[in-house]
Amino acid sequence: MKLAGLLLGPAFLLVAESPFAPGAKPVNLGSVGAGEGPAWNPKDGLYFSGGGRISRRGLDGKVQVFREQSGSANGLLWDPQGRLVVCESRGRRVTRIETDGSITVLADQYQGSRFNSPNDLTIDLKGRIYFTDPRYGSRDGMEIRGSDGREIEGVYRIDAPGKVTLLRTGLERPNGILVAPLDRFLYVADNNNNKEGGARKLWRFPLAGDGSVDPAGRKLIFDWEDSRGPDGVKMDRGGRLFVAAGLNQPHPPFETDRRKGGIYVLSPEGVLIEFLPIPVDEVTNCAFGGPTLRTLFITAGGTLWSIDVRTPGRVPYMSK
């Protein structure tokens, strides 16, 4: 086993070799409406979003609807208290499904203006939630603007229900997001995929103790250039990043298939360790699950895939 140094503290040695066994290939678990937001719950399985609803693949492998009319849920996240936090892209808000089934609105506006389309989220050790708010497709109805009058597609932090802060990132169209171990860094995918020359990059920001970031301190981790940029981002306990990105069929005039669709396994510094091809576009996200968190689930174009990994993944309820 090769080790590349203590990059993330003594508990997070970076394993530089492939996380997959030689010859391992992803298994197609079916066209089950898995569009986005995979999130593992050890009690009852994998939750994912798609088709305007949240579904659950139980521990027995059976899929059933968990919640209809979910505001076109996108990113999902279980918090350490066992509550499901949801980015509602069409509902333009971030909500939390309490253990009794009731819904708490965590954020639905910033300074009196509605969000664009909350997309993905992550949580730090203090319980603060960070989420991205891009707008793909029609630009109609975008309300949040900067002092120069330009529309803002931002990254936000929720400190408590209704207490929301806009972070200074300087990104074009933030998408996937992840807090690193010990709250040292914030990784953000910048995926402006319907503009020629738009950003298709993964960035890393130093994360301050107060939950702020400084755009001057950002580091480019990986660039997908003119192909489909990064979407969902996860990390295993070895410190490796698992990024859903790429395309198998080009989408001219803005996206090529130069970077194929699948999971890009990167070091925290951006070294490409492994590429796992997924033959279905669009590869949107991934999540660790299974009894030992050694299964990687992948959402792609409504299909769900899985592959075993050597190192357990990191999830919020086990991140301390």
Nearest residue to 129 (alpha-carbon basis) of 69, 67, 84 = 84
Nearest residue to 233 (alpha-carbon basis) of 257, 253, 203 = 203
Q: Which CATH class is domain 27-318?
A: mainly beta
Name residues whose C-beta falls within 8 Å of residue 147's C-beta, 6 or more positions apart in sequence: none
User: Sign of the C-alpha dihedral, residues 259, 264, 270, 273?
Assistant: negative
What is the reported pLDDT for 195?
86
What is the reported pLDDT for 70?
67
**Does an H or E element contain 58, and which?**
none
Query: What is the full DSSP assignment across 241-279?
Result: EEEEE--SS-BTTTBBSSS-SEEEEE-TT--EEEEEE-S
Contact status, residue 13 vs residue 3, Cβ threshold 8 Å: yes
The answer, yes or no, to whether the previous bond of 282 is cis (omega within 30 of 0) is: yes
- For residues 155 and 165, what is the distance between their CA atoms, to the nearest angstrom? 9
Mean pLDDT of each 10-residue bin along the chain, 320 residues long: 36 68 95 95 95 94 90 91 94 95 96 97 97 93 92 97 96 97 96 91 97 95 96 97 97 94 96 97 97 97 97 77
What is the reported pLDDT for 178?
98
Break the chain into its structural domains and give their ranges: 27-318
pTM over 0.85: yes
**Does an H or E element contain 166, and which?**
strand 163-167
Count of C-beta atoms within a 10 Å radius of residue 137 = 7
User: Sign of the C-alpha dihedral, residues 313, 176, 56, 63?
Assistant: negative
- The residue length of the chain stands at 320
Nearest residue to 200 (alpha-carbon basis) of 210, 212, 216, 189 = 189
